[in-house]
Amino acid sequence: MVKLTPPMGWNSWNTFGENINEQMIFETADQLVDSGLAGKGYEYLVIDDCWSLKERGEDDRLVADPQKFPHGIKTVADYVHSKGLKFGMYSCAGNLTCAGYPGSFEHEFLDAETFASWGVDFLKYDYCYHSPIIHGKYLYRRMGLALQNCGRDILFSACSWGADQTHEWIKETGASMWRSTGDIFDTWESVKDLARQQEKLHPYNGVGCFNDMDMLIVGMHGKGNVGLAGCSDTQYKTHFSLWAFLGSPLMIGCDIRTMDEATLRILSNEEIIRINQDPACRQPVKLSGFCSDDNGLMYYRLLSNGDLALGIFNLGEHTIRPSINLDEMGLPLSTGKTLELHEVWTNERFTVTNATLSQTLEPFDCKIFRAKVVDR
């Protein structure tokens, strides 16, 4: 499977952890469609860890936990497909999954075949309990090859958290996305930390294999499996904007059956999704600009139609006023050109009149512009 733009969907882990079951998955599938999220591009519904029994069956195959999935996984996949969605599952390159269920080590081809027979379209592949002797690249090559030969188009979502220099070898395994960070938690510190961890990895992001900054915590408000202190709506908006702007897959992690309006509004912003899904998938470029506070982050990206996307983020608790020199993006005054901006959250529109653009940002807020090159 070659996926040309960052995958989008929903994953069970952040909110539900081991508390997953067929009914909840059915309701989530319904809600993905009814809320309009599927129409915005969130197409994969992924069941994470803890779906199987602790032992393989007599035929050595993985067995779904009958308490959680009484009608088996194929029934779940069929239901998800009947809603027009795609269906994802989870396994691990080690002997065990991170939560202690059987992993796919030395069962890669058998498990890929099992997933294919159930109608799986996406496999998240974790890295816990892996062999201390065999390098990760060989473990991911095995499953990558098994998926390519299982008779079904299954997106390979690698999850080795950036360990063992994942960026150097992950593309060769056939992965369409790879976890470039450790696990997310529902706190602002975690969002900040993951955004910073990405900085040196941006050059590795691009068409067909995307840096995965982990599932979104938008709308969790401290509830669920990785729910801790929770964040404010402004912080969730900035977290979403960062992930989308930086070209990460967008996998929702909250309980969408009970999400509030602010959450739905954040997840549904079409302009920021359009930047995330830009067909060129060019890497974000960090701008040095000028900001008196190191919590100010500025990025730009060249989009496929010649527009620029410009993201200005305030990760800190003080109001800041960063400045960006247009020269840094290829527009010195001598070109006679400037930028016409559209801010995707407020719909504010204006044209830059000077050589620099300065913007005031409230604590934890961000501004995301789509910018057109125009005559001065």
Closest CA to 250 of 4, 84, 10: 10
Q: Rounded to the nearest whole angstrom, what is the least distance from the CB of residue 84 to ligand GLA in the complex? A: 25
Q: Identify the residue among 22, 48, 186, 255 touching ligand GLA (CB under 6 A).
A: 48
DSSP string spanning 79-117? HHHHTT-EEEEEEESSSB-TTSSB--TT-HHHHHHHHHH
What are the residues facing 286 on neighbouring strands?
299
Q: Rounded to the nearest whole angstrom, what is the least distance from the CB of residue 52 to ligand GLA in the complex? A: 12
Q: Identify the residue among 89, 159, 175, 371 touching ligand GLA (CB under 6 A).
A: 159
Return the number of the residue (49 or 343) whose C-beta is nearest ligand GLA: 49
- CB burial class (10 A; 0-12, 13-18, 19+) of residue 125? buried
Give how far Cα 2 sits from Cα of 122, 156, 172, Å.
12, 9, 12
Let me know: does 197 contact 162? Beta carbons within 8 Å: yes
For ligand GLA, how many residues bind (rule: CB under 6 A)?
10
Q: Identify the residue among 13, 51, 69, 300 touching ligand GLA (CB under 6 A).
A: 13
Place of tokens 């009970």: 258
Using CB under 6 A as the binding rule, the residues of this chain from 94 to 123 that contact ligand GLA are: 97-99
Let me know: does 93 contact 160? Beta carbons within 8 Å: yes
Q: Catalytic pick from 126, 186, 212, 255? A: 126
Q: Which residues contact 82 (CB under 8 A, 6 or more apart)?
A: none
Does 266 engage in binding with ligand GLA (CB under 6 A)? no
Whether 126 is a known active-site residue: answer yes
Q: Rounded to the nearest whole angstrom, what is the least distance from the CB of residue 75 to ligand GLA in the complex? A: 23
Return the number of the residue (43 or 126) whose C-beta is nearest ligand GLA: 126
Q: Rounded to the nearest whole angstrom, what is the least distance from the CB of residue 19 to ligand GLA in the complex? A: 13
Return the number of the residue (191 or 339) whose C-beta is nearest ligand GLA: 191
Nearest-angstrom CA–CA distance, 145 and 115 = 14
Which one of 81-89, 93-101, 109-117, 320-328 is the stretch in contact with ligand GLA (CB under 6 A)?
93-101
Return the number of the residue (183 or 271) whose C-beta is nearest ligand GLA: 183
Which one of 70-78, 81-89, 91-99, 197-205 is the stretch in contact with ligand GLA (CB under 6 A)?
91-99
Return the number of the residue (99 or 262) whose C-beta is nearest ligand GLA: 99
Return the number of the residue (97 or 323) whose C-beta is nearest ligand GLA: 97
Element (H, E) at 30: helix 22-34
Number of H helices, E strands in the chain: 11, 16
Q: Identify the residue among 183, 193, 293, 328 touching ligand GLA (CB under 6 A).
A: 183
Does 10 engage in binding with ligand GLA (CB under 6 A)? no
Does 126 engage in binding with ligand GLA (CB under 6 A)? yes
Structure token pair of residue 304: 């496929």
Structure token pair of residue 366: 């961000």
Q: Catalytic pick from 153, 183, 193, 293? A: 183
Let me know: does 348 contact 320? Beta carbons within 8 Å: no
Which one of 39-47, 92-100, 185-193, 250-258 is the stretch in contact with ligand GLA (CB under 6 A)?
92-100
Nearest-angstrom CA–CA distance, 296 and 282 = 22
Return the number of the residue (251 or 266) whose C-beta is nearest ligand GLA: 251
Around Cβ 358, how many Cβ atoms within 10 Å? 14
Using CB under 6 A as the binding rule, the residues of this chain from 194 to 213 that contact ligand GLA are: none
Return the number of the residue (49 or 113) whose C-beta is nearest ligand GLA: 49
Nearest-angstrom CA–CA distance, 315 and 57 = 49
Closest CA to 236 of 44, 31, 14, 46: 14
Nearest-angstrom CA–CA distance, 8 and 91 = 19
Nearest-angstrom CA–CA distance, 25 and 44 = 12
Return the active site residues: 126, 183
Binding residues for ligand GLA (CB under 6 A): 13, 48-49, 97-99, 126, 159, 161, 183
